[in-house]
């Protein structure tokens, strides 16, 4: 009952915020200014086209996650307090994220940001009986507050200089200062928002929080929570008078590294949800590439380049929220069925969970950027921006674009390898282990939100022109002028995307027709089944097939110098060998050297003082006596010194 009430509240909140968002995308100015207090001043609540786009993305993902969560949490009715806290946190997280998008007062913005962070923390630690879940939640909370600290410093800097807390003050500050000040301020904002988004090296909370959270929360976090950082970066680009060329180079460089590093680590993961978390980092890199292209286009006065970059970035924000939430939901189905997400434990699940296998396959093809799915459309627009930049800009931009093209191509190829491994190891072949649990996929209520996402993925992939038109106002807001749809090369790129969508639709229809004919012709024929050729093995078993690790062994050998792979190996020895094993555990080098190494050093330093806490009452009494003596003696010494100094002066 609590979940249904929460879902109803989510629907009401989504409807109330979506109406002004749709009006804003249609060109209607939606603005409310509250009087505020003596501290904050006016509190503008503005739903402009940029905020409207993110509001609609947020609402769709929150609604689908909530409906999926009703089924996912079924069976926990014996924990009413936990469920109540979970759904209350979910509602307030939704409200906080929406408020972040519309408020343009720095103090209220930070309050909404804090509500969003604390609500998400409570959602992450839902399974609080596990120590790993608590560690992941605390890690997320600490890094979220580092983000809050950096953003607070940035807003205070502006408010001290301008005496105002509104976002308009940021624009006034940027206009009256040297562009170097604005660039430093932009870098501060990029750091604060980049922690939330998961740009490398600020990404280390993602691979811990996503596997710990329930799957519908993971889908929400990956689908929209990390996109709030993207919204913040775009909002600051809109407000600040910065050197767009330098900013674009910085964002593009960080994004290429983020995308490549994320997908490289995703391939070697054994935990399915951790694998998906690293793919979130990869796709944040792709979105950042679009932002970098847009900024470089602004810096070189190339309007086409700016439009392609920002349009690809905003569209990929929507696309990633769709296929990544779908991937986490299917991972949730697998977990509910098998009570594990370790990839090497599965095999042959397509026979027991056909709907989940189909949904996972669609989402995997979409995240790899293959037509006719939505990921192809946004990545094609970003590719068009790169090639337009190579053709129309000079050195050093050309070199940067060539390196970025190589990086984006590498990301796409490695993503295909990763999801080939994941889908093959989980759904194909034969079972590798006997799992004790049944494999229910849930009823139609569980599948409706998932198939709704699939439908939108296909609609964007086949009919992208409607969504591209919706982007014109947000993109025009970022570039400073509304793009003209009939001009080249912008119109050419969009026409190519539309044409590919039509060809894809024809391919889908043709494939469906062939499948229908095959079913009709083969329906009356008897179907015989039997074992396949055993390749000479008298008693083959599931352990003889490729595992997820062995499938990517060649890649792991090549990438091992760049990754931190911990191996546990017991070789085969003797004429009659006993058991042998070879385990690999991938670690994140950034986390090892940026977080774990300083913490180890801090623990060693604090360990030097462990003798103070020795458990003996006599020592604790002695500490108290020493403290009291210090309180008495130090002021006495100070007063005596002052008295002697006065005597020397008189003499």
**Rounded distance, CA 583 to CA 585, Å?**
7
Please choose, from the candidates 114, 77, 74, 72, the residue with its C-alpha nearest in 3D space to the C-alpha of residue 97.
114
* For residues 439-445, average pLDDT: 67
In the predicted structure, residue 152 carries a pLDDT above the cut 50: yes
Confidence of residue 266 (pLDDT cuts 50, 70, 90): very high
Please choose, from the candidates 242, 254, 231, 244, the residue with its C-alpha nearest in 3D space to the C-alpha of residue 318.
231
In the predicted structure, residue 251 carries a pLDDT above the cut 90: yes
What is the tens place of the pLDDT at every residue in 460-482?
A: 998 888 888 888 889 888 887 64
In the predicted structure, residue 485 carries a pLDDT above the cut 50: no
Highest mean pLDDT among 116-120, 129-133, 341-345: 116-120
Q: Is 260 helix (H, G, I), strand (E, B) or coil?
A: helix
What is the tens place of the pLDDT at every residue in 558-581?
A: 888 778 777 777 777 777 777 777
| Tokens of residue 138, six digits | 């605390």
In the predicted structure, residue 483 carries a pLDDT above the cut 60: no
Work out the burial of residue 637: count CB atoms within 10 Å of its CB; fewer than 13 is exposed, 13-18 middle, 19 or more buried. exposed
Please choose, from the candidates 146, 140, 151, the residue with its C-alpha nearest in 3D space to the C-alpha of residue 277.
140
Q: Is 153 helix (H, G, I), strand (E, B) or coil?
A: helix
* For residues 234-254, average pLDDT: 91
Q: Is 564 helix (H, G, I), strand (E, B) or coil?
A: strand
Q: Give every CB contact of residue 532 below 8 A, 6+ residues apart in sequence.
A: none
Could you give the percent of the chain with pLDDT greater than 70? 90
In the predicted structure, residue 417 carries a pLDDT above the cut 90: yes
Sign of the Cα pseudo-torsion (317, 319, 320, 321, in order): positive
Q: Give every CB contact of residue 317 below 8 A, 6+ residues apart in sequence.
A: 53, 54, 57, 227, 230, 287
pLDDT score, position 543? 67
* Residue 317 near residue 197 (C-beta atoms within 8 A): no
What is the tens place of the pLDDT at every residue in 493-546?
A: 677 777 887 888 888 888 888 888 877 776 667 777 766 666 666 556 666 777
Q: Which bin fits 241, alpha (ψ -120 to 50), beta or left (φ > 0)? A: beta
Fill in the DSSP letter of residue 241: -
* Residue 584 near residue 556 (C-beta atoms within 8 A): yes
pLDDT score, position 243? 86
Q: Determine phi and psi for 115, rounding to 5 degrees.
A: -60, -45
Confidence of residue 167 (pLDDT cuts 50, 70, 90): confident
Residue 197 CB: number of other CB atoms within 10 A? 27
What is the tens place of the pLDDT at every residue in 598-612?
A: 878 888 887 787 777
CA-to-CA dists, residue 137 to 133, 205, 208, 212, 481, angstroms? 6, 9, 8, 8, 43
pLDDT score, position 30? 66
Work out the burial of residue 40: count CB atoms within 10 Å of its CB; fewer than 13 is exposed, 13-18 middle, 19 or more buried. middle
* Residue 467 near residue 60 (C-beta atoms within 8 A): no
In the predicted structure, residue 291 carries a pLDDT above the cut 90: yes
* Residue 198 near residue 257 (C-beta atoms within 8 A): no
pLDDT score, position 229? 94
In the predicted structure, residue 365 carries a pLDDT above the cut 60: yes
State the helix-helix crossing angle for 374-392 and 397-427, rounded to 10 degrees: 160
Q: Which bin fits 44, alpha (ψ -120 to 50), beta or left (φ > 0)? A: beta
Sign of the Cα pseudo-torsion (596, 597, 600, 606, in order): negative
Residue showing tokens 């904050």:
40
pLDDT score, position 487? 52
Sign of the Cα pseudo-torsion (499, 505, 510, 515, in order): positive
Mean per-residue pLDDT of the chain: 85
pLDDT score, position 36? 59
* For residues 614-619, average pLDDT: 79
Nearest 5 degrees, angle CA 161-CA 163-CA 169?
A: 80
Helix/strand/coil (H, E, C) string of 424-469?
HHHHCCCCCCCCCCCCCCCCHHHHHHHHHHHHHHHHHHHCCHHHHH
**Rounded distance, CA 286 to CA 629, Å?**
63
CA-to-CA dists, residue 528 to 255, 352, 525, angstroms? 53, 20, 10
* Residue 109 near residue 117 (C-beta atoms within 8 A): no
Q: Give every CB contact of residue 483 below 8 A, 6+ residues apart in sequence.
A: 303, 307, 472, 475, 476, 490
Confidence of residue 590 (pLDDT cuts 50, 70, 90): confident
* For residues 69-88, average pLDDT: 81
* Residue 468 near residue 500 (C-beta atoms within 8 A): no
């Amino acid at each position: 009952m609590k979940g249904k009430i929460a879902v109803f509240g989510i629907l009401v909140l989504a409807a109330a915020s979506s109406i002004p968002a749709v009006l804003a995308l249609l060109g209607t100015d939606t603005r409310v200014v509250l009087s505020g207090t003596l501290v904050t001043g006016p509190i503008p609540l503005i739903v402009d086209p940029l905020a409207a786009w993110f509001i609609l993305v947020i609402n769709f993902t929150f609604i689908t996650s909530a409906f999926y969560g009703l089924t996912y949490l079924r069976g926990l009715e014996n924990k009413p307090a936990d469920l109540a806290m979970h759904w209350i946190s979910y509602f307030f997280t939704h409200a906080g994220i929406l408020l972040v998008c519309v408020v343009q007062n720095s103090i209220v913005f930070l309050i909404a940001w804090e509500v969003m962070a604390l609500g998400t923390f409570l959602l992450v630690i839902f399974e609080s009986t596990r120590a790993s879940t608590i560690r992941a939640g605390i890690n997320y909370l600490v890094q979220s507050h580092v983000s809050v600290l950096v953003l607070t410093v940035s807003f205070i800097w502006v408010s001290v200089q301008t005496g105002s807390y509104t976002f308009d003050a940021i624009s006034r500050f940027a206009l009256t200062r040297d562009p170097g000040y604005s660039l430093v301020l932009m870098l501060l904002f990029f750091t604060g928002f980049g922690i939330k988004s998961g740009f490398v090296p600020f990404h280390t909370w993602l691979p811990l929080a996503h596997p710990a959270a329930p799957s519908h929360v993971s889908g929400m976090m990956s689908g929209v929570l990390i996109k709030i950082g993207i919204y913040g970066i775009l909002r600051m680009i809109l407000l600040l008078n910065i050197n767009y060329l330098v900013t674009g180079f910085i964002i593009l460089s960080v994004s290429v590294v983020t995308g490549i590093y994320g997908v490289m680590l995703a391939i070697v993961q054994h935990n399915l949800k951790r694998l998906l978390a690293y793919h979130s980092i990869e796709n944040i890199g792709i979105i950042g590439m679009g932002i970098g292209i847009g900024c470089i286009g602004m810096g070189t006065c190339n309007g086409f380049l700016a439009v392609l970059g920002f349009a690809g970035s905003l569209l990929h924000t929507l696309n990633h929220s769709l296929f990544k939430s779908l991937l986490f939901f299917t991972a949730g189905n697998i977990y509910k069925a098998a009570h594990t997400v370790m990839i090497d434990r599965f095999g042959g699940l397509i026979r027991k969970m056909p709907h989940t296998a189909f949904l996972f396959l669609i989402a995997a093809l979409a995240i790899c950027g293959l037509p006719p799915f939505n990921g192809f459309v946004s990545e094609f627009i970003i590719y068009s921006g790169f090639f337009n930049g190579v053709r129309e800009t000079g050195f050093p931009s050309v070199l940067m674009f060539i390196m970025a093209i190589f990086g984006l191509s590498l990301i796409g190829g490695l993503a295909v390898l990763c999801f080939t491994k994941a889908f093959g190891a989980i759904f194909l072949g034969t079972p590798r282990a006997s799992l004790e649990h049944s494999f229910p996929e849930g009823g139609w209520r569980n599948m409706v939100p998932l198939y709704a996402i699939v439908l939108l993925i296909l609609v964007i992939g086949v009919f992208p022109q409607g969504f591209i038109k919706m982007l014109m106002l947000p993109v025009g807001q970022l570039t400073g002028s509304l793009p003209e749809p009939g001009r080249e090369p912008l119109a050419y790129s969009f026409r190519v995307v539309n044409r590919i969508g039509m060809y894809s639709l024809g391919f889908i229809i043709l494939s469906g027709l062939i499948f229908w004919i095959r079913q009709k012709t083969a329906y009356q024929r008897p179907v015989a089944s039997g074992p396949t050729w055993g390749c000479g093995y008298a008693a083959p078993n599931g352990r003889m097939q490729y595992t997820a690790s062995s499938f990517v062994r060649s890649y792991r050998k090549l990438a091992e110098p760049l990754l931190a792979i911990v191996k546990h190996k017991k070789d085969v020895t003797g004429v009659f060998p006993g058991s042998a094993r070879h385990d690999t555990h991938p670690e994140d080098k950034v986390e090892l050297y940026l977080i774990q190494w300083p913490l180890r050093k801090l623990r060693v330093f604090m360990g030097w003082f462990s003798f103070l806490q020795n458990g003996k009452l006599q020592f604790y009494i002695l500490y108290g006596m020493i403290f009291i003596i210090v309180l008495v003696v130090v002021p006495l010494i100070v007063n005596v010194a002052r008295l002697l100094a006065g005597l020397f002066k008189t003499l």
